[in-house]
Amino acid sequence: MTGEQSTYLGIQLIRPRVAFMEFTSCEGCQLQVLNNESTLLRFLSLIEIADFREAVTERSDDYDIAFVEGSITRQDELERLKLVRRNAKTLVAMGSCACFGGVNQLKNRFRDQAGVIRYVYGDHTMDTMEAVPVEAIVPVDLRIFGCPINKDEMERTVVSLVLGLKPVVPDAPVCMECKASENICLFELGQPCLGPVTRCGCGAWCTSRRSRCWGCRGPVDKPNMPLMKEVMEQHGFGDRTFDEMLSCFGGFTAQERKEESKA
């Protein structure tokens, strides 16, 4: 798309060449980009699309920024990702699958991985490996958290990159945004919630609709896990519920691994 050249403080902006691509995922984070109808055309005028297979037939490997969705679960994906890393000046991991392994890493918890394949495909062989985040394979420059990503946050990130600024990643729990929205605490309504330890930036998306936080954005930099566990227990939610909630998107699982390696 051509269109008028955007300016900032009178200075003409250079439209970066952007690629959107997906590995093992639902492709929902890319769709979130298209889901922002009211600002979509203005957003697109900021960038030049080099590759967006889900929406555009023309493709090029000449790009500055790669937005990568999905976790890595196969050898061919690993090779493709390394190529993307070589092509892109900036690689952005987009969404929980790319940042932490996402829901896909739930299959890693089974000791018998052959059994996982057998359960779905019977005696047929199927190429797959443990689901890992993008940063397990190549260095990542930026991360946009969430399942799904919040489209405003996505747009803010792109605008920052276009302006040459470093995007700000908030380091406060969802509780902060939830309180600011004047919601009743879900614990008061008898529901468990990971809001106290999950990184904000979503605008308390789920809890504002009285739906518990499942921790899709992963933990804040220093989550108080012992106190979180205590709060859960006080409200009658045992280890099984707590562990299940922590395990869903991989953010807390990764945190645990980091803690273990420190110890």
Partner 1 sequence: MKLSRKIGVRHLSRVEGHGNIDIDIKDGKLVSANWQVVEAPRFFEAMMRGKSWQAVPMLSGRICGICSIGHTLCSIRAVERAFGFEPSAQTMRLRLLLKHMETLQSHVLHVCFLAAPDFLGEGSVLPLVEKSPVVVEIALRLKQLANDACDLVGGRRLHPTTIVPGGFTMLPDKRELESIRARLNDSLKDLESIAGLLSGFTIPAFTRETEFVSLKGEDSYPFIGGDLLSSDGVVKKEEQYLEMTNEYKVEQSTSKWSRLSRESFAVGALARMNNNFDLLHPGAREVAHTLGLKPLCHNPFMNNVAQIVECVHVALDSIRLIDEHLGAAGNSAREDIEPREGSGIGAVEVPRGILYHSYSFGEDGRISDCNMVIPTSQNHANIQHDLVALVEKYAAEKGDSELELMASMLVRAYDPCISCSVH
The CA-atom distances, in angstroms, between 50 and each of 55, 64, 169 are 12, 9, 26
HSE of 82 in the Cβ direction (CA atoms, 13 Å)?
6
* DSSP-derived secondary structure for 138-155: S--SEEE-BTTB-HHHHH
Q: How many whole angstroms separate alpha carbon 44 and alpha carbon 37?
A: 11
Q: What angle separates helix 37-44 from helix 151-163, to the nearest 10 degrees?
A: 20
- Closest to partner 1 by CB, 37 vs 221, is 37
| Chain residues in the site for partner 1 (CB under 8 A) | 1-3, 23-32, 34-35, 37-38, 40-41, 44, 49, 52-59, 73-74, 77, 102-104, 106-107, 109-110, 115-117, 119-122, 124, 126, 128, 147-148, 205-206, 209-211, 214, 241, 244-245, 248
Instruction: Note whether 24 and 74 are within 8 A (CB).
Output: yes
- Closest to partner 1 by CB, 5 vs 35, is 35
- Closest to partner 1 by CB, 164 vs 190, is 190
- Closest to partner 1 by CB, 80 vs 160, is 80
Phi-psi region of 75 (alpha: psi -120 to 50; beta: other; left: phi over 0): alpha
Instruction: Note whether 199 and 178 are within 8 A (CB).
Output: no
Angle at 98 between CA 260 and CA 120, to 5 degrees: 90
Minimum gap (Å) between residue 221 Cβ and partner 1:
25
Phi then psi for residue 160, to 5 deg, are -60, -45
